[in-house]
Amino acid sequence: MATALDAALGGGPLMAAVAAVVSIGRPAWPTRIARVALVLAALTVLGWLMVLPLLAIFAEALRHGLAFYLQAIREPDTLAAVRLTLTVAAIAVPLNMVFGVAAAWSMAHFEFRGKTWLGALIDLPFSISPVVCGMVLILVYGKDGWLGSWLEAQGLQVIFAMPGLVLATVLVTLPYVARELIPLMQAQGSDQEEAALTLGASGWQIFFRVTLPRVRWALLYGVLLCNARAMGEFGAVYVVSGHLRGLTNTLPLQVDQLSQENFSAAFAVASLLALLTVLTLGIKRLVEWRHGGELRANT
Amino acid sequence: MTRHVLPGFRLSTGYTLLVLGSCVLLPLTALLWTACELGPAGWWAQIGTRRVLAALKLSFGGALLAATIDAVLGLLVAWVLVRYRFAFRRQCDALVDLPFALPTAVAGIALTALYAPNGWLGSRLAPLGIEVAYTRLGVLLAMVFVGLPFVVRTLQPVLESMESDLEEAAYTLGATSFQRFFRVLLPLLLPTLLTGYALALARAIGEYGSVIFIAGNRLFRTEIAPYLIVQKIDSQYDYRGAAALGAVMLAASLLLLLAMAWLQRWTRRWAVVR
Amino acid sequence: MRRLLLALAALLALSAGHVRAQDVKLLNVSYDPTREYFQDADAAFKADWAKQSGRNVTVTTSNGGSGKQARAVLDGLQADVVTLALAYDIDVLADKGLLAKDWQQRLPNNSSPYTSTVVFLVRKGDPKQIHDWPDLIRPGVQVITPNPKTSGGARWNFLAAWGWALRQPGGNADKARAYVTALYKNVPVLDTGARGATNTFVQRGMGDVLIAWESEALMTLKEFGKDNYQIVVPSSTIVAEPPVAVVDANVARHGTQQVAQAYLQFLYSPQGQEIAARHFFRPRLASVASKYAMQFPAVKTFTLGELFGDWRKVQASYFADGGVFDSILEGAQ
């Protein structure tokens, strides 16, 4: 028990926690009522902030009836946008996953000069407005940008094409996986990895057998977060897309364009994005269910 | 440089630096470079106007307030989702991601549809004298909406990983729920909560799509800083002015994030001392 | 984790299964409310070009705010032709050498194959009794119009109001400025684009009057019913001339000079003019104009050239940062 707790919390906080708990010894509150109140409060928050806008979207989407709705989401341009969104996410998310794991390994297991700065640098994309994200890409890759004339000479189109969309998405979602992993891995410390090392395990063995099982939840959350954000990203891709229907319009851009033309169709397509989120969460639940046993043993 | 026990220092740190350098530092250097081409006087002419200052004040002030609201609501939601089992829990869990997956423009239109004077909520709030759409309250609402999942999703894995063992320990020792929460869990959660707060804050500062529809974009009142950037690019083709404003926003939110990181370290130490 | 990757890989594989046929491709970079118009026009041109040359052409049209679209072409969007809301956005491209400086003289009618005017849309029965420009500055009247900084169409709205005030007996720049300042004092929401403003007026129920292009107003009547809204034509208003041009540098690279020119010529042809009229743009061709005369209310108009000179001058003095519009907004607060 002690080692498991150690693993979950790191030594110091645990001792403090146990000490705090030991010093307490008064009778319990009527916890049931408190729980119901808390659940109700949380449901109210979710209902107000999430359910109402969602209902508004479906109400607008179905305003002209189901037939119109189905027709709107079956339009070829919309289907092309779905494909493009999935493709961009399928490239950007694994890239960010590898980055996140590497960054977390570096930040959690080593002490080196400039580490605080590296941490700040990893967080940096969070503090850039999506609009600015798109703009800086144009400053580098646009026609008059730093690499613009070189790219043009090579016949490569970055901005207003797929590479630009991927770059924008990567830039906006870069820290998500790292941000989930770093605090957890720092809290867990290096004790177990070092123990494995003294037992003769190689670096990759340590990573796959010791570290990965202990952080898989955080990794999964990070990837899901990154994926959801990548699929819904609007501001940055808005600047670098060029809005070519059926070619460079991602799903969010398609929605925006439709909202300039046909409100109900825009909301119908928006509801597709909501369904994609549900799909992502379905994958998460599948993993939870398949690996429920191991996961419990590992936490 | 110190000696490292575990392998992989060069590989992991090198790769991290490579990606950060090419994807983050290069474009940001371009941003600062372009902004610097203006010179100090030109820079101040872009930033020092009453209009820009009002927009910056709204973007940062609104974001600070929104992130604070998100921290409280997000802690509540994450706690309930991880700790309690109730009907539709999983559906509720799925709902939290909505602000991520919705393109921000749609979120903005949906919120405006709800809170406009003829909207479902707006028409009910109007008799009470509360106007949301096209006011600062609307800006705040949109910022709270986009920020909430950051707090919830940052807290969840940590809550989940500390769930059973510590809880059991405290429970067998007879601590009440409130005591367990405020004296045991909150100090441990605080660093993570601050991470979530910082993420929500950063997102709200730069937020464009969802705010732009509900704000009404009134000069000095509901005009946000990112919209000024868009105006500079799209009607003036003025990349330098836009870069100047972008650089100021970047520097300010960077300072906020650094302050957060410092506060986080401090609270972690504080948790250890306790 | 591996499972998730596999799922993503499968999705990627699914998405990769489309190949495009090799034929002539044309990219038309246009502004927001022309989507339906160009859908029809592109299809008709495709048939026409097949008959003319025996080749297949695929026209892709990109829509967005006029200024934003011009910026995209500046930054390297490979437009063969641009069809934007105002000439200044094409002048900017000419300044960068993407097309000849005299582009506006290359096609008839200042290179704009169709026009529109600026009118008012009010709720049915005109409850606030709005008949002409002076009614817009009465206290208690709420006016919806988008931000000229981000909407090309709204710049025409602004100039229509300014021009009307200027043309009143004893009118001058100071009086025009006072009138337009009072007008923007009555604007509760400044949307980013024309369609956004229409949505605010129609879907959100904001405001008593929407200042809109006639094409947009007629479209709204068609879509949301003549029982709910009506058009009010002011005593005089501006002719909005959305221009078109071939982007020389890009067609030279793509080898699409001929088909790009034919595309723009087609917009002037009887068939192209008829399509424009069906989408509520006023056709230039007299024969088509008389056929659709019933559709458009009679208006007294002035042009940009008569009152303001050219777009470069207008942009520099009215809409640049720190220009007339900015100071009017500050005065209106």
**Domain coordinates of chain C in residue numbers?**
9-112+241-268, 116-240+298-332
Least confident of A51-65, B165-179, C23-37, C121-135: B165-179
Query: What pLDDT score does C159 carry?
Result: 97
- Tell me whether A136 touches chain B (CB under 8 Å): yes
B232: closest CA of chain A, how far (Å)? 11
Mean confidence (pLDDT) of chain C: 91
State phi, psi for C237 to the nearest 5 degrees: -155, 175
Query: What pLDDT score does B6 carry?
Result: 87
Beta strand ranges found along chain C (DSSP E): 24-31, 57-64, 81-83, 114-123, 143-144, 209-213, 229-232, 237-240, 244-246, 282-283, 301-302
Which residue of B lies nearest to C195 if distances are taken between CA atoms? B213
Cβ atoms of C241 and C284 closer than 8 Å:
no
A50 and A119 share one domain: no
Structure tokens at A283: 């994958």
A223 and A131 share one domain: yes
Least confident of A213-222, A284-293, C299-308, C322-331: A284-293
Share of chain B above pLDDT 70, in %: 90
Q: What is the mean pLDDT of residues C36-57?
A: 93
Cα–Cα dist C39/C28, whole Å: 11
Cα–Cα dist B179/C194, whole Å: 57
- Tell me whether B186 touches chain C (CB under 8 Å): no
Test C62 with A245 for CB contact under 8 angstroms. Answer: yes
State phi, psi for A289 to the nearest 5 degrees: -70, -45
> Which of residues A125 and C5 earns the better pLDDT score?
A125
What pLDDT, in 10s, does the model give residues C72-113? Answer: 999 999 999 999 999 999 999 999 999 999 999 999 999 999
* DSSP structural state of residue C321: T
CATH code for the part of the protein at B39-273: 1.10.3720.10
Q: Is the pLDDT of residue C138 over 80?
A: yes
Q: Per-residue confidence at B3, pLDDT binned at 50, 70, 90?
A: low
- Domain holding A271: CATH number? 1.10.3720.10
Say which CATH class C9-112+241-268 falls into: alpha beta
Residue ranges covered by each domain of chain B: 39-273
Sequence letter at residue C130: I
Cα–Cα dist C87/C310, whole Å: 9
On chain C, the residues whose CB falls within 8 A of the CB of A263 are 199, 203
Task: Tell me how many residue pairs between chain A and chain C have CB atoms under 8 A apart.
Answer: 90
Q: Which are the contacts of B134, defined by CB distance < 8 A and separation ≥ 6? A: B116, B214, B215, B216, B218, B222, C188, C189, C206
Query: What pLDDT score does A98 carry?
Result: 95
Q: Which of A37, A61, A85 is the last residue of a domain?
A: A61
Query: What pLDDT score does C249 carry?
Result: 95
Cβ atoms of B204 and C317 closer than 8 Å:
no
> Which of residues B159 and B123 earns the better pLDDT score?
B123
Cα–Cα dist A296/B164, whole Å: 10
CATH code for the part of the protein at C116-240+298-332: 3.40.190.10
Judged by DSSP in three states, C236 sits in coil
Q: Which of A22, A139, A210 is best to mutate for the B interface (most B CBs within 10 A)? A: A139
- Tell me whether A137 touches chain B (CB under 8 Å): yes
A44: closest CA of chain C, how far (Å)? 26
Query: What pLDDT score does A299 carry?
Result: 39
Query: What pLDDT score does A244 carry?
Result: 85
Cα–Cα dist C44/B246, whole Å: 44
Q: Per-residue confidence at B170, pLDDT binned at 50, 70, 90?
A: low
Nearest to A265 by CA among A84, A71, A53: A71
Test C75 with A87 for CB contact under 8 angstroms. Answer: no
Test C27 with A244 for CB contact under 8 angstroms. Answer: yes
Q: Look at the alpha carbons of B25, B30, B35, B38 in this order and tell me if their dihedral is positive or negative.
A: positive
Annotate A263-296 with three-state secondary structure.
HHHHHHHHHHHHHHHHHHHHHHHHHHHHCHHHHH
Annotate chain B with three-state secondary structure.
CCCCCCCCHHHHHHHHHHHHHHHHHHHHHHHHHHHHCCHHHHHHHHHCCHHHHHHHHHHHHHHHHHHHHHHHHHHHHHHHHHHCCCCCHHHHHHHCCHHHHCCHHHHHHHHHHHHCCCCCCHHHHHHHCCCCCCCHHHHHHHHHHHHHHHHHHHHHHHHHHCHHHHHHHHHHCCCCHHHHHHHHHHHHHHHHHHHHHHHHHHHHHHCCHHHHHHHCCCCCCCCCHHHHHHHHHHHHCCHHHHHHHHHHHHHHHHHHHHHHHHHHHHHHHHHHHC
A69 and A51 share one domain: no
Query: What pLDDT score does A30 carry?
Result: 55
Test C195 with A261 for CB contact under 8 angstroms. Answer: yes
Cα–Cα dist A248/A242, whole Å: 7
Q: What is the mean pLDDT of residues B188-207?
A: 88
A36 and A162 share one domain: no
Q: Is the pLDDT of residue C22 over 80?
A: no
Query: What pLDDT score does A149 carry?
Result: 86
User: How many residues belong to chain C?
Assistant: 333
Query: What pLDDT score does C261 carry?
Result: 96
Test A144 with C74 for CB contact under 8 angstroms. Answer: yes
Q: What is the mean pLDDT of residues B230-246?
A: 89
A242: closest CA of chain C, how far (Å)? 6
Q: Which of A78, A216, A237, A261 is best to mutate for the C interface (most C CBs within 10 A)? A: A261
Which residue of C lies nearest to A215 if distances are taken between CA atoms? C1
A133 and A165 share one domain: yes
The DSSP line for chain A is -HHHHHHHH-HHHHHHHHHHHHH--PPPP-HHHHHHHHHHHHHHHHIIIIIHHHHHHHHHHTTT-HHHHHHHHTSHHHHHHHHHHHHHHHHHHHHHHHHHHHHHHHHHH---TTHHHHHHHHHGGGGS-HHHHHHHHHHHHSTTSTTHHHHHHHT---TTSHHHHHHHHHHHHTHHHHHHHHHHHHHH-SHHHHHHHHTT--HHHIIIIIIHHHHHHHHHHHHHHHHHHHHH--HHHHHHS--BTTTT--HHHHHHHHHTT-HHHHHHHHHHHHHHHHHHHHHHHHHHHHTHHHHHHH-
Mean confidence (pLDDT) of chain B: 86
Max Cα separation, chain C?
78
Q: What is the mean pLDDT of residues C289-313?
A: 94
Q: What is the mean pLDDT of residues C266-291?
A: 96
* Domain range for A229: 65-298
B41: closest CA of chain A, how far (Å)? 22
Cα–Cα dist A92/A125, whole Å: 15
- Tell me whether A11 touches chain C (CB under 8 Å): no
Query: What pLDDT score does B88 carry?
Result: 84
B77: closest CA of chain A, how far (Å)? 5
Sequence letter at residue B133: A
Closest by Cβ to B116, choosing from C148, C191, C204: C204
Q: Which residue has the tokens 């992989």?
A: B8
What is the total count of domains within chain A? 2
- At how many degrees (to 10) do helices C270-278 and C257-268 cross? 60
Query: What pLDDT score does B175 carry?
Result: 62
Closest by Cβ to A136, choosing from B30, B164, B205: B30
On chain A, the residues whose CB falls within 8 A of the CB of B80 are 38-39, 41-42
A165 and A224 share one domain: yes
Query: What pLDDT score does C40 carry?
Result: 95
Q: Which are the contacts of C47, defined by CB distance < 8 A and separation ≥ 6? A: none
Q: What is the mean pLDDT of residues B238-244?
A: 91
Query: What pLDDT score does A276 carry?
Result: 78
Query: What pLDDT score does A207 carry?
Result: 92
A216 and A88 share one domain: yes
- Tell me whether A142 touches chain C (CB under 8 Å): yes
Q: Which of A40, A61, A82 is the last residue of a domain?
A: A61
Annotate C79-113 with three-state secondary structure.
CCEEECCCHHHHHHHHHCCCCCCCHHHCCCHHHCC
Please identify every stretch of chain A with a pLDDT value under 70, giving residue numbers as ranges: 1-31, 281, 288, 291-299
Counting Cα atoms < 13 Å in the Cβ hemisphere of A217 gives: 24
